[in-house]
Structure 1
Amino acid sequence: MDTRDNIIKQLRGVAFGKLTSETSADEFFQNETLRPILKLQNDLLLLVFQNYITKSKTDFNNYSAEKKLNFIENAIQKDIKFRNSLKGMVIGLFTLEEYNRYIVNSSSLNKRMMNLIIERLKSQVQLLVHL
């Protein structure tokens, strides 16, 4: 029977980016763990953000492109409850070993995680249609 960690790694697929001997521990974690999880969770992240737009009762569809990008960034950086929800969506797909590595340097890794999510949403802003 497969263990939870094996199942998670199979779901996520391969790492992103080049991993060399000069790769920092945080960069290694980002490419080995965070990027594959965010790719796997992409559709859910989009749906969660669409729901956030709806609940915020903003006129997102009529925002300029620049204002949409600012809205994404501000939502993730300033709404702590929403930020923690996004973090949970990612952390829930860590293996036990990855979680142990994460808690050693969670502050730096959280910053990387949120920046990756912000950039992922910004690059797909055209898909964020407020219904």
Structure 2
Amino acid sequence: MNQRDVFLKEFRGGAIGSVSSQSSSDETFQNEVLRPILKLQNDLFIASFKNYITKYKSDFYSQTAEQKLVAIENSIQKDVKYRNALKGMVIGLFTADEYSIYIKKSSSLNKRMMTMLIERLKSQVQLFENSISK
């Protein structure tokens, strides 16, 4: 393993969630790779979404709580450029071996990645209140 890979694994920390011999390969990848990266990159995802709503969703702040949750989900699911930028923030922290696993199962892993990211942002929707003044 090269220095970059060692650094990334130490920097991200260990698995989040249980991994057992009965876990599927996607579930193992999710808990050992995706969850630690999503946790590490959380502040960047928050900043990115604040920028996104400032640029493209100016009515976000006047919406109800339920509408904001829908807006978060729709922004990531329907805006391909934004979704690809978010994927890049995650993929950039893969080791070379993890990337080779990812490219073989990118469709199912992307789905897991975006679902977890949507839920992460929705659970922190209060951080998007009145961010115009910040």
Question: Structures share a fold, TM > 0.5?
Answer: yes
Report matched runs for 1:52-131 at 5 Å: 52-129=52-129, 130-131=131-132
The residue matched to 1:16 in structure 2 has which SS? coil
Change (3 A) 1:41 1:29: same
Please tell me the residue identity of whatever aligns with 2:34.
Answer: L
Please tell me the residue identity of whatever aligns with 1:116.
M
How many Å separate the matches in 2 of 1:121 and 1:47?
11
Residue 128 of structure 1 and its aligned partner are, at CA, apart by 1.4
Moved over 6 A (4+): none
Look up the equivalent residue of 2:65 and give its one-letter code.
A
- Aligned residue in 2 for 1:10: 10
Q: May I ask how many residue pairs the two structures share in their alignment?
A: 130
Q: CA deviation at 1:66?
A: 0.5
Partners of 2:31 and 2:128 in 1: how far apart?
A: 25
Cα deviation, residue 58, structure 1: 2.0
Aligned mates of 1:10, 1:18 — CA distance in 2: 18
Take 2:6 and 2:53, find their aligned partners in 1: how far apart are those partners? 35
**Structure 2, unpaired ranges of 5+:** none
Q: Would the alpha carbon gap of residues 10 and 103 (structure 1) be closer, same or farther in structure 2, given more than 3 Å must change?
A: same
Aligned-residue offset at 1:114: 0.3
TM-score normalised by length of structure 1: 0.96
Q: SS at 2:23's partner residue? A: coil
Between the two structures, name the one with larger relative contact order (CA 8 Å, sep ≥ 6). 1
- Identity across the alignment (%): 63
Deviates more, 1:121-130 or 1:30-39: 121-130
How does the TM-score come out when normalised to structure 2? 0.94
Note the residue ranges of structure 1 that are not aligned, 5 or more in a row.
Answer: none
Per-residue CA deviation, residues 15-63 of structure 1 (Å, 9 max, x unaligned), is 1111111100000000000000000000000000000000014221221
Whole-Å separation in 1 of the counterparts to 2:87 and 2:96: 16
